[in-house]
Chains A and B, each alone.
Chain A
Amino acid sequence: MLRDITLGQFVPGQSFIHKLDARFKTVLIIAFTVLVFVSKNFASIGLVAVLLVGASAASRIPAKMLIRSFKPLLPFILFTVILNMFYVDGQILWQFWVLKITKEGLLLSAMMALRIIFMLLGGSLLTFTTSPIVLTDALERLMKPLSWIKVPVHDIAMMMTIALRFIPTLIDETEKIMNAQKARGADLESGGPLKRAKALIPILVPLFVSAFKRADELALAMECRCYTGGKGRTRLKQMKAAPRDGFAVLITAAVTTGVIWLNAILPPIITR
């Protein structure tokens, strides 16, 4: 049933990557993404690829699943590739009327494609190995400094937690309401876009009304448990850095150094 599908494609596991502190994971993935875009030649991006492959292997997520994560975006990647192929000036390899493919264009598109794919894979690696709630937690803790400039970090995190908590419940409720209205002859399947939109009213109105009621009751229950916002709150689960996190940082630092060095000693793929 619908609610058995976990959000953000989280796949529970015990791998090295799974066990990394979520805060470190998040920061490292951001660093990784920066590296992907900072690499100037195939050697440096090759090094980044090694890091990616290593991390993927360490996560024990099946390759098929990882590939599925960027498959839907393949058309977009292809589109970018084609655009870059035809619109970069340089050494012309093939020409037909106004369309010309240059060597530089090919190199640039290849680089572009790799960058996008690596970035997506990196992001997927994060969401596959970290549950949405742990991720929300990590983000809350990472963004804590922002609360000094009045960003309501805790409130946002609490809203996200509650949303994650209620999504399966709301999905269930939608199913129930749909069944009840279908039982009264509601036709949710046929008709043009306008008719179908109208047919959603008997579903959306009860859903919204009940959502508001839920919010009311939940807020009351929270107050009865002495909730007064984020100030002074402690947490059951502590996030503690472990040696493996230090190890992951070291490896990433090494790759970063390598990328900078390779960028410096080898020519970039195109000189502009």
Chain B
Amino acid sequence: MPIISVKDLRHVYSPGTPFAQTALDGVSFDVEKGEFLGVIGHTGSGKSTLMQMLNGLLKPTSGEIDFNGENIQAKGYNLHELRFSVGMVFQYPEYQLFEETVYKDIAFGPKNMGLKPDEIDRRVRRAAQFCGLREELLERSPFELSGGQKRRAAIAGVIAMEPKVLILDEPAAGLDPGGREKILGQIKNYREQTGSTVVLVSHSMEEIAKYCEKVLVLEKGKVLLHDSTKAVFARADLLRDTGLDIPEITKVLLKLREMGYDADCSAYTLDAARDEVLRLIGGDCRA
């Protein structure tokens, strides 16, 4: 049974007014337990709307969302509790820090869950470790931290709830290459250690290519593609025509195709691309 099942989701903002806007127009897909799903789409494709529905922050105009087989729209469903199982990290999460110490801020989620102090303590320290925050930082004010540290403290605040599904909206936005690698590496590590399902919304094709096994592509409120990463990037021409960015490496292969060579665009990692190019040239030139 998929951990999240989305069925024919539709959503219109300000319905019936001159400002009415269709954000989602019949979206259906499943997320399997433990999957690392990447979500791509233009700004305005319905990505954020969709994400906010997965943890019950936004109610769809119509359609169903099931978490562990249960319809979260059903009457009496405890949405407040759902948010502890489907954790969400918004863009620029460091803007939500507010407590006196980093420890207290990370503990906010677990506290709201009504856990006992020693359980909270365990979770806070574990989350801090996953996010590469040293012990000494826990007692400092979150406002004294550097930008990258603040970001990681905010992410730790969600991880501390130990959600079964972790949704991250552009967790590396605005960071330099070193910072990006660090955060994504920590997320990857977190998933490997806990077996959680991770949904990564990103504009960076390189990121999606590097970390995700499956990709969901949204366009104008509809699902354009939902397949393995390899299969999605093999449709590089479709992605490009939709105006979406594709990994630079895929661009190279696509260009080679256009020049008339039989390049396989589904080779989206550096190694695969290298091998593909070598194949085209006719074998490894090393003696």
Where the two chains meet, the residues of A that have a C-beta atom closer than 8 Å to any C-beta of B are 1, 4, 173, 176-177, 179-187, 201-202, 205-206, 209-210
Are B143 and A183 in contact, with the CB atoms below 8 A?
no
Evaluate whether A179 and B97 lie within 8 angstroms (CB atoms) in the complex, with A184-B158, A202-B108 already known: no
Closest to A187 in B: B80
Interface residues of B in 94-114 (CB under 8 A from A): 95-98, 108-109, 112-113
Given the complex, which residues of B lie within 8 Å of A206, measured CB to CB? 95-98
Closest to A185 in B: B112
Segment touching A, from B82-90, B220-228, B230-238: B82-90
Evaluate whether A4 and B14 lie within 8 angstroms (CB atoms) in the complex, with A180-B90, A183-B158 already known: yes
Q: Mark B133-146, 1 if CB is under 8 A from A, else 0.
A: 00000000001000
Closest to B79 in A: A182
Are B95 and A210 in contact, with the CB atoms below 8 A?
yes
Evaluate whether A177 and B95 lie within 8 angstroms (CB atoms) in the complex, with A184-B112, A184-B158 already known: yes
Q: At the interface, yes or no: B13 with Cβ under 8 Å from chain A?
A: yes
Minimum Cβ distance to chain B for residue A196 (Å): 15
> How many Å lie between the Cα of A185 and that of B109 in the bound state?
6
Pick the residue among A4, A181, A185, A201 that contacts B113 (CB under 8 A): A185
Given the complex, which residues of A lie within 8 Å of B87, measured CB to CB? 183
> How many Å lie between the Cα of A69 and that of B80 in the bound state?
39
Evaluate whether A183 and B14 lie within 8 angstroms (CB atoms) in the complex, with A201-B98, A205-B98, A206-B98 already known: no
CB-based A-B contact count at 8 angstroms: 60
> How many Å lie between the Cα of A210 and that of B14 in the bound state?
28
A-B CB contact pairs (8 Å), 12 listed: A1-B13, A1-B19, A4-B14, A173-B95, A179-B90, A180-B90, A184-B161, A185-B108, A185-B112, A205-B98, A206-B96, A210-B95
Given the complex, which residues of B lie within 8 Å of A202, measured CB to CB? 96, 98, 108
Given the complex, which residues of A lie within 8 Å of B80, measured CB to CB? 185, 187
Minimum Cβ distance to chain B for residue A200 (Å): 11
Evaluate whether A185 and B90 lie within 8 angstroms (CB atoms) in the complex, with A206-B95, A206-B98 already known: no
Closest to A213 in B: B95
Residue among A185, A201, A202, A210 with most chain B CB within 10 A: A185
Are B19 and A179 in contact, with the CB atoms below 8 A?
no
Closest to B98 in A: A205
Given the complex, which residues of A lie within 8 Å of B109, measured CB to CB? 184-185
Q: Mark B64-87, 1 if CB is under 8 A from A, else 0.
A: 000000000000000010011001
Evaluate whether A185 and B14 lie within 8 angstroms (CB atoms) in the complex, with A176-B90, A205-B98 already known: no
> How many Å lie between the Cα of A181 and that of B57 in the bound state?
11
Minimum Cβ distance to chain B for residue A173 (Å): 8
Q: At the interface, yes or no: B55 with Cβ under 8 Å from chain A?
A: yes
> How many Å lie between the Cα of A205 and that of B143 in the bound state?
11
Q: At the interface, yes or no: B269 with Cβ under 8 Å from chain A?
A: no
Minimum Cβ distance to chain B for residue A74 (Å): 27
> How many Å lie between the Cα of A224 and that of B25 in the bound state?
45
Given the complex, which residues of A lie within 8 Å of B88, measured CB to CB? 180, 183
Where the two chains meet, the residues of B that have a C-beta atom closer than 8 Å to any C-beta of A are 13-14, 19, 52, 55, 57, 80, 83-84, 87-88, 90, 93, 95-98, 108-109, 112-113, 143, 157-158, 161
Secondary structure at the A interface, as helix, strand, loop or mixed, is helix
Are A185 and B57 in contact, with the CB atoms below 8 A?
no
Are B98 and A183 in contact, with the CB atoms below 8 A?
no
Evaluate whether A183 and B112 lie within 8 angstroms (CB atoms) in the complex, with A1-B14, A206-B96, A206-B97 already known: no
> How many Å lie between the Cα of A206 and that of B108 in the bound state?
14
Closest to A205 in B: B98
A sample of 9 more A-B contacts (CB under 8 A), given A176-B90, A177-B95, is A1-B14, A173-B95, A181-B108, A182-B57, A182-B83, A183-B57, A185-B112, A185-B161, A209-B98
> How many Å lie between the Cα of A61 and that of B14 in the bound state?
24
Given the complex, which residues of B lie within 8 Å of A176, measured CB to CB? 90, 95
Closest to B13 in A: A1
Closest to B58 in A: A179
Are A4 and B96 in contact, with the CB atoms below 8 A?
no
Are A180 and B93 in contact, with the CB atoms below 8 A?
yes
Are A177 and B14 in contact, with the CB atoms below 8 A?
no
Are A184 and B90 in contact, with the CB atoms below 8 A?
no
> How many Å lie between the Cα of A4 and that of B14 in the bound state?
10
Closest to B160 in A: A184
> How many Å lie between the Cα of A176 and that of B51 in the bound state?
13
Per CB-CB distance, the 4 closest pairs between chain A and chain B, nearest first, are A185-B112, A205-B98, A180-B96, A184-B109
> How many Å lie between the Cα of A181 and that of B98 in the bound state?
10
Closest to A183 in B: B88
Given the complex, which residues of A lie within 8 Å of B14, measured CB to CB? 1, 4
> How many Å lie between the Cα of A187 and that of B114 in the bound state?
12
Minimum Cβ distance to chain B for residue A183 (Å): 4
Given the complex, which residues of A lie within 8 Å of B84, measured CB to CB? 185
Evaluate whether A184 and B13 lie within 8 angstroms (CB atoms) in the complex, with A177-B95, A206-B96, A209-B143 already known: no
Are B98 and A185 in contact, with the CB atoms below 8 A?
no
Given the complex, which residues of A lie within 8 Å of B19, measured CB to CB? 1, 4
Are B52 and A179 in contact, with the CB atoms below 8 A?
yes
> How many Å lie between the Cα of A210 and that of B113 in the bound state?
27
Given the complex, which residues of B lie within 8 Å of A210, measured CB to CB? 95
